[in-house]
Amino acid sequence: MKPQQDRHANRHCAALTRVDVLVTVVVIIGLWILLHPRMGPNLKEKAKRIQCINNLKQIGVATRVWGGDHNDQYPTSALITNANIQKWIAAGNAVPFFQIMSNELVSPKVLVCPADRDHEAALSFTNGFSATNISYFIGLDADDRNPQSLLSGDDNFEIGGVPVKPGLLEFPTNAPLSWTAARHDSAGNIGLADGSVQQLTSSGLRKATAVTGAVTNRLLIP
């Protein structure tokens, strides 16, 4: 009789274990249902920021590869004496600089930040390619001899609370530069001349622009 009692006890414990598992599953599902609406947007925004960082890293690699074929100079410095380049800078036209590196960039999709709702990726660097297909600024003074100089990055800036306009942006190192709320929860990403990418708040942005090595920072905003 004793062996029979043991078998009944084992079946009873097994039944309790299954119930425990079912309760655990129900609790997990309930928590997921409750938390998912809150977690979803955060995860999507994080994914967009990661993709933006990857885009800027690709731009950095493309710039350095291009420079390797042009006496270790970036497009803005290698061609600075070219009359057309001077006209593009004066007109605040960032488009040709990215077209110059089209072979190294491979795809124009890397020029659009996924958090940018105002621009869309182009299909090519030729037909119809314009500032509407670019989310990132160009640092006119980028130089690999000065690793902290600004190469490229999100262009959703404001100075003293006023959003900057497309074109040539010049500002001193102590300018009250900030990110707008348009992307990355009022933050942004910048790529430096050494190929690195930094995720910055507005205060971090001001610190970064204060150590670029330039008295006046010059950016082309598409």
Residue-wise pLDDT for 57-102, tens only, equals 999 999 999 988 888 878 877 555 566 777 888 888 899 889 999 9
Is 210 part of any domain? yes
In a domain, 34, yes or no: no
Query: Is residue 173 a contact partner of residue 151, using CB atoms and an 8 Å limit?
Result: no
Give a yes or no: residue 23 inside a domain: no
CB 48 within 8 A of CB 184: yes
Q: According to the model, what pLDDT value does residue 120 have?
A: 95
93 domain-assigned: yes
The pLDDT, as a whole number, for residue 11 is: 47
Look at residue 9 and tell me if it is in a domain.
no
Segment 89-117 mean pLDDT: 92
**In-domain check, residue 4:** no
DSSP notation for 11-25 = HHHHHHHHHHHHHHH
SS3 label, residue 166: coil
pLDDT at 145 over 50: yes
pTM, rounded to two decimals: 0.79
Secondary structure (3-state) at 200: strand
Domain of residue 133, residue span = 45-221
pLDDT of 13 reads 46
Q: Does residue 184 fall inside a structural domain?
A: yes
Compute and round to an integer the Cα radius of gyration of the chain.
26
Task: Specify the number of domains making up the chain.
Answer: 1
